[in-house]
Structure 1
């Protein structure tokens, strides 16, 4: 038993010694690995710096050491280029009127409601005209009496009985009452408010039972004929647009396009938004309604010999705008002067002839004098 107790501590001591030796070896290897990594990083940095210096000094070295980048190409185009001003317009009507009361009284009926489409002559409202009706009844009674007296006096006059003055007085009284009756009947007709033409009720400004006076606004009424489009154009286009210029108009809500012309140009600049009004003729289209939104495309520039490129291929640096062109398998940076842009195409005023092959897909990965490999699509 004593021998066993002595042997166990010896085994423990031996195991501890081996463990210490193993840990020291691992630490040494870790330190050596870290040292080699640092040396490798230093060498890589030195290689990169030398390569960069050589690329600047020797273009042939740069070509040989650049990896070939896979790209697709696009063609610069030469031909007709058109630029349009795009603005939002609103359909309006020249028959946009405020309907007012022509007589006083209390509102008895308002069949018209906002947004309602009505035909010419349709009743919009009725005003109480009881006093006018009483006047008509009284005048009608007087008129009946005046007619009877005039007829008797006329028969007497034809028989040469009585004087001419009596005849003329009877005639004048009858005709005066006729005029008065016609005038009062006209007044009665004003108690019924009717649509002056076919159109739409925009707003109703009176309520049932309300007392109105002559001249009081009752309805805002918009006709469906004589429509036009009005839009605000930036003052920078003053002198560019003219009456008669062609206009492409689209109506997004009904998915319809038409071509028409500018019918009028505003003469005043709005100081609040620095724009002027443009009016565009609108032919009769069944689905187009007042206040409908439209998009106007007005041509303000054209060039039959323009060089154009896709707008997204134009990049910029401190020197200016440029594109990459492909020359003998090498990407070349070509500085350009851009003109107008429309429909994702940009006019190039200087820098390209129109027959260049441009770097398309991959244009952000290439640099000046990079080798490129054109993908076969």
Structure 2
């Protein structure tokens, strides 16, 4: 068996070279890791030493600190208002149940749910056959009573007969006239009519059903006399009064308008500690009973308030603060906040309104940081 010595020698040389390169790479990696560890330790030592020197020499801390790029804004001097928002519901003073006034069987139902009708429009008919028969009978009796009365009256005018006969004939005729009028009125009530303009919300009866007086046939809601009712916390007793202005928002149609308080409840609901508030609702095309609304009740205002955006206010163990810029350096300014409404907070102490506040970059600075205002 022959051995290829040249090939064997070449393979050994390649393997030796590879091992040598691998040892060199490993050594370099170990050296780099050692240097990084030393650098990290050195940076930590440098930062610690800088902090210690900055405590002893504040000017050193300012000059050696990196400048932070920021943008600025100013507190706003404005008329600040705070509102309480409560949910209300549109109601109608003309939300009624319509019932029949006479007994009988439903002969016809003309109304359907959602139907808009005008005052006096017939919604249903009750069978009036028995009443019509009574009317016809009384009318016949009336004919005879009228003839008798006329003859008795002519005799009485001629001084013939007694006064009693004349009065009896007259009374008989007048009684029948009243009975006939009553029956005709009763017949008219077999027509169930809309009491005012509005919408038929529910139909509670069917053709052929037997109904009695007082039994609800329809639920009917009028177009006018709408109002909004809301429950307001008892903490606002005395703040809200009759006649006060109230802003109303309808979320479903994104509509707003201003109205006034028309009534305030005199009883506190012991279950949720609220009282009823009613506000006037003008005739609005989009307003429907049971529609959801939001009432904005103003409970505070300051015509000369200093305000800042909420997000600029930070907090530490000492309280609330904002960052201002003074001579190119950030300053922590402690404030006392008032009420907040729609992402704006009133500042009652700590700011006059002439300061320059740090806006963008306010979370990247601290007290006495050098800052650079972006142009």
> Counterparts of 2:193 and 2:5 in 1: how far apart (Å)?
126
What is the root-mean-square deviation of aligned Cα atoms in Å?
2.2
SS in 2 for 1:22: helix
Q: Deviations over 1:313-365 (max 9, x none)?
A: 11222332211111111111112111111232211122212211111122222
Q: State the TM-score, normalized to the length of structure 1.
A: 0.92
Q: 2:128: which partner in 1?
A: 129
> Counterparts of 1:319 and 1:352 in 2: how far apart (Å)?
17
Q: 1:294: which partner in 2?
A: 293
Q: Which is further off, 170-179 or 246-255?
A: 246-255
> Counterparts of 1:54 and 1:184 in 2: how far apart (Å)?
110
> Counterparts of 1:259 and 1:206 in 2: how far apart (Å)?
41
Q: State the TM-score, normalized to the length of structure 2.
A: 0.92
> Counterparts of 2:209 and 2:266 in 1: how far apart (Å)?
43
Q: Deviations over 1:90-143 (max 9, x none)?
A: 332222222122111111222112222211101111111221121111111111
1:201 pairs with 2:179:
no
Q: 2:112: which partner in 1?
A: 113
For structure 2, the residue ranges without an aligned partner over 5 or more in a row are none
Q: Which is further off, 162-171 or 77-86?
A: 77-86
Are the aligned partners of 1:224 and 1:290 in contact in 2 as well (CA < 8 Å)? no
1:240 pairs with 2:252:
no
Pairing 1:264-283 to 2, within 5 Å after superposition: 264-283=263-282
For structure 1, the residue ranges without an aligned partner over 5 or more in a row are none
Equivalences, count: 375
Q: Which is further off, 344-353 or 225-234?
A: 225-234
Pairing 1:1-377 to 2, within 5 Å after superposition: 5-253=4-252, 256-376=255-375
After TM superposition, give the deviation of residue 284 of structure 1 in Å.
3.4
> Counterparts of 2:160 and 2:74 in 1: how far apart (Å)?
111
> Counterparts of 2:155 and 2:320 in 1: how far apart (Å)?
108
Q: Deviations over 1:260-309 (max 9, x none)?
A: 22111111222333322111123334544433333322221111232211
CA distance 1:232–1:143, change in 2 (3 Å): same
> Counterparts of 1:195 and 1:5 in 2: how far apart (Å)?
119
